Copies of this chain bind each other. A is one copy, B any other.
């Protein structure tokens, strides 16, 4: 793999585990066995390195949220959305960790601002779908809980089960909350 790609992967892992602000370019360079100046040759700035590392996940999540459909009325569409959402969370756990744990306090960084805008778009879509405070909370708890639990499991040192065990369980819990059989 090229140094260019290797730097992006190392940076993503470090940003997710130690934090964007707390990860210096020098540390990324050390982990890659190169110099800080070399990192800045491949990526114009630290912000650009983060943006490139998060881009694939953000692109995919943006597509999913954009094509959310009429999630209010149609249970089938709700289930389809949840499935796509869960798949994306599992496919991009490091970026999910970044979004969930750091976008809140780093809105001056473009990539985090983009993530924050995405979360706002998602929550607004469900805000419209939900009538009562109770229902809004259900949406919030379900989606945020899924993302956060996934992101935190690594961190808390919990031995997380394999993906093909988490995926169906996640789908089950989300359906219990947002697409129960009794409804629609």
Q: Which residues of A contact B (CB under 8 A)?
A: 18-22, 97, 100-102, 104-106, 116, 119-120, 123, 127, 132-134, 137-138, 140-146, 148-149, 151-153, 155-158, 161, 165-166, 169-170, 172-173, 176-177
Residues of chain B with a CB closer than 8 A to A127's CB: 158
Q: A145 CA to B146 CA in the complex, in Å?
A: 7
Quick one: copies of this chain in the complex?
2
Once A22-B21, A133-B161 are accepted as A-B contacts, the answer to whether A146 and B141 lie under 8 Å apart by CB is: yes
A18 to B144, CA, bound (A): 20
Q: Give 18 A-B contacts (CB < 8 Å), ordered by A residue.
A: A21-B21, A21-B22, A22-B105, A101-B104, A104-B155, A120-B156, A127-B158, A133-B161, A133-B165, A134-B172, A137-B149, A137-B166, A137-B169, A137-B173, A141-B149, A144-B145, A144-B148, A177-B177
Interchain CB contact under 8 A, A100 and B148: yes
Q: A104-B152, A132-B169, A145-B146 are in contact. List 8 more A-B contacts (CB 8 A).
A: A119-B156, A120-B156, A123-B158, A133-B165, A133-B169, A140-B153, A141-B141, A141-B145
